[in-house]
Structure 1
């Protein structure tokens, strides 16, 4: 399969043209807004915290990659969409385990590697039920697991992580509903996945930054 092969994965897309998914494309601006808001918070609170800045940049790259996918809609654009998301998940998980749960770096790295290896397997198990959205189930579970342990150390931030998990659950629901509602809603519901995910990413960054700021 060639990298330039066109894909038609979402309800809104009606053809191979660049603007065949206008709403899905434009709503990626939400990721840029989330990145900018996180950057402003980072600059005020922890301007010397490089990991938080790197994660903020990755959020902006998520928006750019997703925009490319919902405009060009090719296999190479799909890679540009998926890679920043996976990088964010792995990097954020590492710093969440280290900073929030205060695990040793050796344990942290082992868990992240285990997550990277096992996550695709879990996604495949649930794919018959959740479809392609099953790929995000490991990340959702990680949010709830980290939040459940973190709430015992810091109730406010731990609860914030858990609420973020609830928002992410709703977001996945909208992603799953895109095809089923397509016959009655021409634009689909994938655009809500973008908007809610931008909220999810900002909330995760906010906890990381504020926790670091003490």
Structure 2
């Protein structure tokens, strides 16, 4: 089976494997963030929180690999290898904060996540691609992180709130970089998508650290 070749980013100039070297290699930061989470979670006592942190860490590592494959092979198959892991990471990480920091019960938590995923996928549709270079699909994540930060601040979870507010700033910068990739391509042939990867690596590190600090303080 042959998959359709894709050319979606400024750095790519042809369909060859190594046409996006910077976009591809910056995924190492996402992978390393997952490695950090996995290593740090081993020092936690066995509990549901620690298990979820490990799942988030594995998903971060898979996200790094999937995105690397997408920016090297760049076809319709590897596109989903890029999208699915990061979507699952968002679901698992948001679920962690909702369940263990906010204390939302299973049913309302599940309903929220269903709405979250549905809205994110809807904003990925062709109708919204022209807006912010297709980055609108990440708006629900940004709003959710801000909401979680506010709630954790109100509940006096200082470590968690600081990290969540920091993640909002980092993610805003990351989305901005992703949005301007093609817009500045004529003047900056490398584009800015590499900054999206780099900042996401920092973002994932911050979120995993927030989870770990919450569990450490709780115990």
Q: Give the TM bin, normalised by the shorter chain.
A: over 0.9
Per-residue CA deviation, residues 145-190 of structure 1 (Å, 9 max, x unaligned), is 1111111121231121011111000011111111111111111111
CA RMSD of aligned residues (A): 1.7
Uncovered stretches (5+) of structure 2, i.e. residues with no partner: none
Paired position in structure 2 for 1:186: 189
Task: Give 3-state SS (helix, strand or coil) of 1:14's partner.
Answer: coil
Per-residue CA deviation, residues 104-156 of structure 1 (Å, 9 max, x unaligned), is 12221121122122333455686543231111111111111111111112123
Paired position in structure 2 for 1:131: 133
Task: Tell me the number of residue pairs that the alignment of Structure 1 and Structure 2 aligns.
Answer: 213
- Matched-pair contact (CA < 8 Å) for 2:70–2:78: yes
Per-residue CA deviation, residues 75-112 of structure 1 (Å, 9 max, x unaligned), is 00001000001111111111211111111122211211
Equivalent residue in structure 1 for 2:170, among 152, 161, 167: 167
Paired position in structure 2 for 1:147: 149
Change (3 A) 1:20 1:46: farther
Paired position in structure 2 for 1:36: 35
Measure, in 2, the Cα distance between the counterparts of 1:20 and 1:47.
Answer: 44
Task: Give 3-state SS (helix, strand or coil) of 2:9's partner.
Answer: coil
Of the structure 1 ranges 201-210 and 109-118, higher mean CA displacement relative to structure 2 is found in 109-118
Match runs of 1:60-209 below 5 Å: 60-122=61-123, 127-153=129-155, 154-209=157-212
Paired position in structure 2 for 1:27: 26
Measure, in 1, the Cα distance between the counterparts of 2:108 and 2:119.
Answer: 16
Offset of residue 19 of structure 1: 0.2
Uncovered stretches (5+) of structure 1, i.e. residues with no partner: none
Structure-1-length-normalised TM-score: 0.93
